[in-house]
Amino acid sequence: MLYTFVACIVTAFAYGRNLTLPLFFDDLVQLPFVDRYSLFQHWTGSFESPYYRPLTITLFKVMAIPFEQHSAPLLHGLNLILHALNGALAGLLGTLLWERFDKRAEAQSSILFGIVTTVLYILFPFHYQAIPWVAALFHLFVTTVVLAALLAYLRGWFFLTIVFAFLAPFAHENGVVVVPMIFLIELLMPQRQKSDWGPKITRLAILLAPIGLWLLIRSLVSTGRDGSALFPGLESVGQSLSFFVQGLGWPSAIFGRHLLRFDRLNDLEIVWITAGGAIVLALMAAFYAREKLGGKMRLPLFGLGFWLLASAPAMAILPFSYNVNGPRLLTLAAVGVSLFWAAALVACVSRFRMNLKHSWAILAVVLFLAAQGASIFHVEQSNHLHTLLGDAVVQAADISVELDQDESYPVFVNFPSSLAPAEKRFVLGNEGVVFWPEYAPPHTLMSANGPIQQTDQVFVQVDAIRQEPPYLHGIVAPTHTVSAVRADLNAIFYNSVYSENGINLFPIGHVKPSPKPTRLGKPPLTDDQFEIQLTELGMVEKTVGETLFTSLMIEWDMYGEVPETVTVFVHAVSPNGEILQQADGDPMAGLYPLSQVESDKRLVDIRHVVADSTIAFFRVGLYDRVTGERVPLFDRDGERLDEDMAILPVNLLQSND
Is residue 247 within 8 Å of residue 334, measured between CB atoms?
yes
Question: For 553-571, how does the pLDDT look when each residue is reduced to its tens digit (9 = 90+)?
Answer: 999 998 888 999 999 999 9
Q: Is the pLDDT of residue 156 over 70?
A: yes
Residue in 375, 425, 371 with CA at minimum distance from that of residue 260? 425
Q: What is d(CA 107, CA 115) in angstroms, rounded to the nearest whole number?
A: 12
Q: What is d(CA 350, CA 291) in angstroms, rounded to the nearest whole number?
A: 10
Q: What is d(CA 31, CA 133) in angstroms, rounded to the nearest whole number?
A: 12
Q: What is d(CA 506, CA 443) in angstroms, rounded to the nearest whole number?
A: 20
Q: Is the pLDDT of residue 266 over 60?
A: yes
Q: Is the pLDDT of residue 54 over 50?
A: yes
Q: What is d(CA 430, CA 327) in angstroms, rounded to the nearest whole number?
A: 9
In a domain, 401, yes or no: no
Residue, of 364 and 439, whose pLDDT is higher = 439
In a domain, 138, yes or no: yes
Q: Is the pLDDT of residue 212 over 90?
A: no
Q: Is the pLDDT of residue 513 over 70?
A: yes
Q: Among 194-208, 542-556, 598-612, which is the least confidently predicted range?
A: 194-208
Query: Among 348, 366, 382, where does a domain finish?
Result: 382
| Residue 360 and residue 217 share a domain | yes
In a domain, 395, yes or no: no
Q: Is the pLDDT of residue 42 over 50?
A: yes
Indicate the pairing of strand 654-655 with strand 491-499. unpaired
DSSP alpha helix (H) spans, 189-233: 197-220
- In degrees, rounded to 5, the angle at the alpha carbon of residue 609 between the alpha carbons of residues 606 and 613 is 130
Is residue 74 within 8 Å of residue 67, measured between CB atoms?
yes
In a domain, 494, yes or no: no
Distance of CA 246 to the CA centre of its chain: 21
In a domain, 294, yes or no: yes
What's the domain range around 597? 514-657
In a domain, 190, yes or no: yes
Query: Among 364, 382, 400, where does a domain finish?
Result: 382
Q: Among 128-142, 302-316, 542-556, which is the least confidently predicted range?
A: 542-556
Mean local confidence (pLDDT), 395-405: 85
655 pLDDT band, cuts 50/70/90, is: low
Question: For 470-498, how does the pLDDT look when each residue is reduced to its tens digit (9 = 90+)?
Answer: 899 999 888 889 989 988 999 999 999 99
Cβ burial, residue 1 (10 Å; 0-12/13-18/19+): exposed
Q: Is the pLDDT of residue 306 over 80?
A: yes
- The domain that holds 559 is classified in CATH as 2.70.50
pLDDT over 90, % of the chain = 44
Residue 623 CB partners (closer than 8 Å, separation 6+) = 566, 567, 569, 629, 630, 631
In a domain, 75, yes or no: yes
| Residue 518 and residue 377 share a domain | no
Query: Among 324, 352, 382, where does a domain finish?
Result: 382
580 pLDDT band, cuts 50/70/90, is: very high
Mean local confidence (pLDDT), 405-431: 89
Task: Count up the domains in the chain and report the number.
Answer: 2
* pLDDT of 227: 46
In a domain, 184, yes or no: yes
- What pTM, to 2 d.p., does this model score? 0.88
